Amino acid sequence: MRRILPLLLAPALSMSAQELPELTGNPVAVPAALTLTRIREPRLLVVTGKAASGHDVDLTRATQWASSNPAVARVDALGWVSALTNGQATLTGQAGGKSLRVDVTVQLPPTDPPLSFRHDVMPVLSKGGCNMGACHGYSLGKNGFKLSLRGSDPALDYPAITEDFFERRINRHNPPASLLVQKPLGDLPHEGGVRFDSGSLLHSILAGWIAQGARDDAPTLPTLMGVRIHPMKAVVAPKARQQFQVLARYSDGTERDVTRMAIYEVNTERVARVDDAGLVAAAALGETAVAARYERIFAVATLIVLPADSKFQPAPVPQDNLVDRHVVAKLNDLRIEASPVVDDERFLRRVYVDLIGVQPKPEEVLAFVAEAAADKRAKVVERLMLRAEFVDWWSLRWGDLLQNSRNTTSDPAMYAFREWIRASVASNKPIDQFAREILTARGASGDNPAAAWFAASKDADDSLQRATQVFAGVRMLCAKCHPHPFENWTQADYYGLHSFFNQVSLKADPRLPNVANARSVMVNVDAGFSSNPRTGRAQPPRYLGGAEPPLAASVDRRLDYARWLTAPENPHFARSLANRFWSYFFHRGIIDPVDDLRATNPPINAPLLDALAAELVRSKYDVRQLIRTIVNSRTYQRSTATLPTNAHDDANFSHALPRRLPAEALLDSLVQATGVVENFGGAPTAFTAAQLPDANFNSEFLNLFGKAQRMEACECERDTRSNMLQALDFINGRSILSRVVAGNGRPALLLSQKPDDAALIDQLHLWSLARKPTEAERALAVRFFKEYGDKRAEAAQDLFWGLLNSRDFMLLY
Amino acid sequence: MHPAAFLLCILLAGAAHVAHAADVSYHREVWPLFKRHCVGCHSAQKSKGALRLDEVAAVQKGGQSGALFVAGKPEASLLIKQVSGEAPEMPIDAPPLPPEKVALLRQWVAQGAPFDAPPASTAPAVVIPAAYPSAPSIASVALSPDGKWVAAACRSEVAFFAVDDNTSAPRRLPTDCDLISHVEFSPDGARLVAAGGTPQRFGAVTFFALPAGRMEHTRRHGRDTFFRGSFAPDGRAIALGGADGAAHIVPVDAAAKIQSIELHSDWVLDVAYTPDGKQLVTGGRDKTAKVSSVETLRLLRMVDQSSDIISSVASDALAAVAGGYARTLTGYDYKVALAGVEVTGSGNGAQPVNRRDQYVRPFEGQPDAVQDLATSGDRKWLAVATRQPEVRIYQTSDRARKTTLSKLSGPVNAVALDLNGTRLAVGGRDGLVQVYEVATGKLLRSLTPVPVTVRP
């Protein structure tokens, strides 16, 4: 019976031993040459080759290394090179029938320098998970032992470890007796479980540092300058593995291999998994970021998993439109085909809803389809950008983002700000100027309507968080109380921004006495800098991720911030806005979510985003030019129908994603289709949904379909998802039914012209779905009319009700 | 089922069984699994669900939900039910055990849950080097009532020397504790006590007879170290703070029982007797300061709730004193704070009847977190150590600062005064013990009381 087991295990074993595909060209080892300066710091050789199929092949563990001088340096089976004694050695590797060579120099100091608290021990506390938010990194610590969250503050952690409670946690003279060692080993009960094993690297660093006296670092300790990951990009086959390497660079010019101490995460676990040692196992087709964190710095690589053998023929890369150029290039990389471009009717409806927030009328559809001009799609885009509804629609979007609402500002100020936004959109005000005017506004709404933006902020915290989220796509709230968990923002960054905005105060608008929420924005140029609660010291203004500029005394510091933010070279402004505008046309950003930009959330197509941002800067921040570039691309005009190679892709814009119409566009399109207006109590008569100045109109329809309430500066406030209540409202509610049967409703209006069945059916389709029926739909409708006999009005109403309840009305597709 | 398939199942089950049956060892496989995933919550320190997995007897006994396993019947065993299934109950707040570990537990129970060996003790031995590579920091320092003798806690040992004898090296009194956190002379100067223990293992108190330094006896108590405390004025017991939230009264008589008052929701870091020996002042990591009755072993009042840890307490004739990380030093007038209704029941959290501003007797603000307080034997003087390299001495009658010893060599961990406050002993984080004449500020003695290897 025992013989059965090996038989069962056999297939599993042969699968785990990787078969090497045939390689083209020579494998490459990184680094190409090595200098080792510490016995305790081996370095990893990552070896990659290229398969005939075009895939990258990780040969790190498949390479057989031999050292010309094993007394000086040697390589283990995982590719780690260790130093033994000073000298030179040449490593010769054999992989997949090819050979490669790496020269090693070993230069050890006469005595090994002691382990560093910041550079050796702090990474152990991070790698071991000790300082996670759920453990000792919690704001109150855990079981009386508190560490800074994710190792953000070594100066606080050092005394917590070495001094607290009579030095209870370490014993310099008897390191194995230290709680700091016994607890994570599990030798004493530890609620956080066993964090590392006896003899492991983490254990030896902690115990070694304690044995050396658990000393603090000298103030001259070099600082960590950057972290990089290799390879930056790997294209692999399913089930393949890829070893990553992480290198840390210090202010004294030295570099360390910190692969073993970095913390790894993939952002799409469906595609791949990563282990503690930076070895990634590809699982399914697709793409994922592989993020490595070392101390407080992140490095991100891209892993693309492609089918092992594919008959894919790369598409020619279009050169006439920057969007298509970068999207098709990426799709070729991914071996994905792009879906074809949609027909005229679908294109027209999509571009109408996206640009002016309402679908086209029948005569517009018919005229467009009949038009023969080759550039008719580009022309209609130009015509739409001149429509009044274009101003309505984009002012609505800006009103949401800038939170123009009577929740926070007075009635007159809200209307004045609305008009200011509308005038800016109508005149196509460059977006940099638009942002500067808002971020530097002062006075009352009567002086400067844009001051309503500051008047809506509770305090400088609110202002800085809103400003960074809207105009830089960055969420800073986390960094108010602790270092940002997914980005290198600290409280110094946060309060550096705070100091730009803390001169603003609000007082009642003297010209609007007795008007609720009427405020005037005051700037006290003599206000000091904000205090960083961590250090208790004043934090000078600091640009987001940038320098602390020298500023003259008694100036409005917002002016400097707005100038810096909107400068062409600013890394946040054009990029975040290009990404945000892109999302309005594709259901998702190139970075998504669009207002959570950070190193650990990389763009799905970086060259595309860079090109769009550059285009926005080049055009002097012309938003209409940006829109033009996007909607004139084939990428925008692609069908939602998928092909075998792109069905799994929902991120690379290989096909359109069906999108539900936003609340206002849905209601305005319904009103246009049925001819029955919606009355919004409190708003001027005949205001469309897109024209409403804020969300305080208590419209059940708009609330149901997720209108933004303007309580937050987050794009997420607008809910574009579908749900059961919406379906029930459409089927049973008054929104559609009462309009369809109304005496002034579309069916009645059409019938009054006494059309024949065919014409009536066409018109009903055109008004509801902005397209003519297909042959099958027409045949079905004709049969339907026949069944109703002389009850023609009822037939028209029922058909129209059915069309408005179909997905083709609810969705852009 | 096809007969051949049925046969295959039997074969497989048999094969698996044969391959593993004799191999699952409690010592080698099950205990490491418990250690890695379970004992954080199920051990002597934290027996959640009244279940402990750190001792074989406890594993056999089970917890409040009953026996952990039915030998030979994995499916009927609580242990297996808890860790298997779609969404296992255990381990809580952690990923489920990997299937192979569940299978291992199942196997172990299936084969009758044998205990081949108890878990090996992993407690590291106490090490007292002949010479230290670097000076151990002084956790606690004591001065005899006559001001002639000094004792200092140096990690696992006590160093003991005569202030006015420059010629002989300090006596070294070793203990079997990892960490001594409190040393003190008895009020009659006839004995020295060292209290502490080994963190997360046991608390211990050791008495030494003077002047010989002969160990009288040592006793262990509880599952974690004692912190600081003070001798009863009659010298018959010492009260010490514990990690279990209690103040423990440890009699000098080795045969007498230890009495405990459970008072705090976290570690009690310091305990002081009132001069009449009738009450105890306690302070701790739960940020509160409390006064209790020695006679009834009950809480009388919670006199303060600080914004941070209370590290040290003291008592003069009229007021309790507490100092802590919030950089405050505060007196609490006994008469006013304890006045009013009798406390019944456990009385935990009992607030004074009078307003805080009526019973609080504030001292000046402190420059940094308070590390230690010491009163002179006559309770007329109070020495205060903070993280700064200085010691302030106050007159307790008016809470006015009388002397400041500044420019010390480094942060001070511990202070001690003699009977009438003429001499002050200071223990530093740098391992230095210094003795000063309070009136003149004259440094009488300064030494590292244990041998240190001089680095080349």
pLDDT band at A750 (very low <50, low <70, confident <90, very high): very high
Out of A4, A144, A171, the one facing B285 most closely (by C-beta) is: A144
* C-beta atoms of A173 and B44 within 8 A: no
Q: What is the DSSP letter of A773?
A: P
**pLDDT tens across B82-95, in order?**
888 888 888 887 78
Domain B138-447 has CATH 3.10.20.30: no
> In the 8-state DSSP scheme, what is residue A644?
T
Q: pLDDT, tens digit, for every residue of A605-629? A: 999 999 999 999 999 999 999 999 9
- The residues, ordered by sequence, that sit 6+ positions from A403 with a Cβ below 8 Å of its Cβ are A453, A456, A466, A710, A711, A712, A713
CB contact under 8 A, A166 and B201: no
User: What value does the mean pLDDT take over residues A306-331?
Assistant: 90
- CB contact under 8 Å between A2 and B19, yes or no, is yes
CA distance B16 to B409: 68
For B173, the token pair is 């009194």
pLDDT confidence of residue B253: 95
Instruction: Return the biggest CA–CA distance within chain B.
Output: 101
Q: Give A172's contacts in chain B (Cβ within 8 Å).
A: 133-134, 136
Q: Greater confidence, B279 or B15?
A: B279
CB contact, 8 Å: A141 with chain B? no
Chain B residues touching residue A183 (CB < 8 angstroms): 200
Which residues of chain A are within 8 Å of residue B177 when distances are taken between CB atoms?
none
Q: Which residue do the tokens 């699968």 mark?
A: A15
Within 113-132 of B, beta carbons closer than 8 Å to A belong to 122, 124, 126-127, 129, 132
Whether the upstream peptide bond of residue A176 has omega within 30° of 0, thus cis, is no
> B91 to chain A: nearest residue by CA?
A193
Residue among B18, B122, B429 minimizing CB distance to A2 = B18
Instruction: Identify any residues that bridge with A65 across adjacent strands, giving them in sequence order.
Output: A93
B28 pLDDT more than 90: no
User: What gap in Å lies between CA B370 and CA B388, rounded to an integer?
Assistant: 9
Q: Which residue has the tokens 């009738």?
A: B278
pLDDT at B36: 82
Element (H or E) spanning B39, and its range? Answer: none
Measured in angstroms, the CA of B69 and the nearest CA of chain A are apart by 22
Minimal-distance CA residue of chain B relative to A135:
B93
Name the minimum distance, in Å, from the CA of A184 to any CA of chain B: 9
Average pLDDT of span B390-401? 95
Q: How far is A264 from chain B (nearest CA, A)?
A: 18
Q: Do A189 and B267 touch (CB under 8 A)?
A: no
Residues of A in contact with B36 (CB under 8 A): 186, 193-194
**E strand segments, A15-61:** 23-30, 33-36, 43-44, 46-51, 56-58
Q: Please check whether the two domains, A12-106 and A224-305, share a CATH topology.
A: yes
And the tokens for B115? 């205990």
Q: What is the pLDDT of residues A10-65, one digit of tens each?
A: 333 333 345 678 888 899 999 999 999 999 999 999 999 999 888 999 999 999 99
Inform me whether the pLDDT recorded for A401 exceeds 70.
Answer: yes
- Of the candidate ranges A200-209, A399-408, B14-23, B98-107, the one whose mean pLDDT is the lowest: B14-23
Q: Smallest Cα–Cα separation from A34: which of A106, A89, A88, A104?
A: A104
In the predicted model, is pLDDT for residue A597 greater than 60? yes
Give the residue extent of every domain in chain B: 3-110, 138-447
pLDDT above 70 for B1: no
Domain boundaries, chain A: 12-106, 117-211, 224-305, 660-812
Residue A177: list chain B partners with CB under 8 A.
124, 126-127, 178, 198
Interface test with A, best of B137, B157, B270 (most A CBs within 10 A): B137
Report residue B285 as tokens: 């990591």
Distance of alpha carbon B97 from alpha carbon B102, whole angstroms: 6
Q: Counting every residue, how long is chain A?
A: 813
Query: B413: which chain A residues are within 8 Å (Cβ-Cβ)?
Result: 166
Please state the φ and ψ torsions of residue A481, each to the nearest 5 degrees.
Answer: -105, -20
Q: What is the mean pLDDT of chain B?
A: 88
Give SS3 for B323.
Answer: strand
Q: B35, A5: Cβ pair inside 8 Å?
A: no
What pLDDT does residue B8 have? Answer: 43
Closest residue in A to B127 (Cα–Cα): A174
CA distance A486 to A7: 47
Q: How far is CA B424 from CA A280, A291, B87, B235, B395, in A?
A: 63, 57, 62, 21, 14
The pLDDT, as a whole number, for residue A313 is 87
Residue B172 forms contact with A (CB below 8 Å):
no
Enumerate the β-bridge partners of residue A193. Answer: none
> Is B178 within 8 Å of A171 when comparing Cβ atoms?
yes
pLDDT mean over A707-722: 90
A–B CB contacts, 8 A cutoff, strictly below: 100
pLDDT digits (tens, 9 = 90+) for B229-240: 999 999 999 999
Which of A460, A459, A461, A489 lies closest to A474 in space, CA to CA? A489
Question: What is the pTM for the complete model shown?
Answer: 0.79
Is A173 in Cβ contact with B35 (below 8 Å)?
no
Euclidean distance between CA atoms A228 and B439, whole angstroms: 62
Instruction: Give A142's contacts in chain B (Cβ within 8 Å).
Output: none
Burial class for A103, CB neighbours closer than 10 Å (0-12, 13-18, 19+): middle
- What's the CA gap between A458 and B305, in Å, rounded? 33
Q: Is the pLDDT of residue A309 over 90?
A: no
Query: Do B136 and A173 make contact, defined as CB atoms within 8 angstroms?
Result: yes
Side-chain-side CA neighbours of B332 within 13 Å: the count stands at 32
Averaged over A144-169, what is the pLDDT? 92
Residues 6+ apart with CB under 8 A from A102: A29, A31, A32, A33, A34, A45, A81, A90, A91, A93
Q: Chain B, 208-267: which have a CB under 8 Å from a chain A CB? A: 225, 227, 266-267
Q: Say what the pLDDT of residue B29 is.
A: 84
Instruction: Enumerate the residues of chain A whose CB falls inside 8 A of the CB of residue B94.
Output: 193
pLDDT tens-digit map of A466-493: 999 999 999 988 888 877 777 778 889 9
Arithmetic mean of pLDDT, A335-350: 96
Q: Which of A419-423, A484-488, B397-401 has the lowest mean pLDDT?
A: A484-488
- Compute the nearest-CA separation of B44 from chain A (Å): 9
CA distance B262 to A757: 91
pLDDT higher than threshold 60 for residue B21: no
Q: How confident is the model at residue A751 (pLDDT cuts 50, 70, 90)?
A: very high
Inter-chain touch A167–B43, beta carbons under 8 Å = no
Q: Do B134 and A172 touch (CB under 8 A)?
A: yes
Burial class (CB in 10 A: 0-12, 13-18, 19+), A172: buried
Mean pLDDT of A536-544: 92
Question: What's the CATH number for A224-305?
Answer: 2.60.40.10
Mutate to test the interface with B, among A5, A8, A161, A188 (most CBs of B within 10 A): A188
d(CA A456, CA A713): 11
- Which residue of A132, A142, A166, A170 is the best one to mutate when testing the B interface, meaning the one whose CB has the most B CBs within 10 A? A166
Tell how strand B370-375 and strand B381-386 pair up: antiparallel
Of A166, A177, A189, nearest to B124 by CB-CB distance is: A177
How near does any CA of chain A get to the CA of B247, in Å?
17
Q: Are A499 and A540 in contact (CB under 8 A)?
A: yes
Tell me what pLDDT residue B345 has. 52
R_g (Cα) of chain A, nearest Å: 32
Residue A514: count of CB within 10 angstroms of its CB? 6
What are A106's strand-pairing partners? A36, A87
List, for residues B189-199, the tens digit of each pLDDT value. Answer: 999 999 999 99
Q: Which two tokens stand for residue A576?
A: 């975040």
Q: How many other CB atoms are found less than 10 A from the CB of residue A16?
A: 7
- The residues, ordered by sequence, that sit 6+ positions from A552 with a Cβ below 8 Å of its Cβ are none
pLDDT for B71 beyond 90: no
Chain A interface, best mutation among B11, B33, B178, B198, by max A CB count within 10 A: B178
A418 closest CA partner among A394, A385, A443: A394
Tell me how close the Cα of B250 comes to any Cα of chain A, in angstroms: 21
For B36, name the nearest residue in chain A, comparing CA atoms only: A194
Alpha helix locations (H) across B222-270? none
Q: Are B181 and B188 in contact (CB under 8 A)?
A: no
Q: Is the model's pLDDT at A318 over the cut of 50?
A: yes
- A536: contact with B, CB 8 A cutoff: no
Those of residues 180-209 in A touching chain B at CB distance below 8 A are: 182-183, 186-194
C-alpha B325/C-alpha B441 separation (Å) is: 27
State yes or no: pLDDT of A526 exceeds 80.
Answer: yes
Residue A276 above 60 pLDDT?
yes
Flag if B12 and A4 touch (Cβ within 8 Å). yes
The more confident residue out of A579 and A476 is A579
Does B260 have pLDDT greater than 80?
yes
Residue with tokens 């001259």: A220
What length is written for chain B?
A: 456
Chain A: nearest CA to B264, how far in angstroms?
14
Residue B45 has pLDDT above 80, yes or no: no
Mean pLDDT, rounded, of chain A: 92
Residue A531 is encoded by which pair of tokens?
């205090």
Q: For residue B250, is pLDDT > 50?
A: yes
What pLDDT was estimated at residue A380? 98
Give the minimum alpha-carbon distance from B35 to chain A in angstroms, rounded to a whole number: 6
Q: Residue A802 — very low, low, confident or very high, per pLDDT cuts 50/70/90? A: very high
Taking the CA of residue A297 and the nearest CA in chain B, the distance in Å comes to 27
The neighbour count for residue B245, using CB atoms within 10 Å, is 19
pLDDT above 60: residue A9: no
| Distance between CA atoms of residues A411 and A396, nearest Å | 17
B288 has which bridge partners? B305
The CATH number given to A12-106 is: 2.60.40.1080
Residue B15 has pLDDT above 80, yes or no: no
- B316 in A contact zone (CB under 8 Å): no
Residue B194 has a CB neighbour count (10 Å cut-off) of 29
Residue A394 has pLDDT above 80, yes or no: yes
- Report residue A534's pLDDT band, with 50, 70 and 90 as the boundaries: confident
Is pLDDT of B14 > 90? no
B contacts of A189 (beta carbons < 8 Å): 39-41, 43-46, 54, 200
Does any CB of chain A come closer than 8 Å to the CB of residue B158?
Answer: no
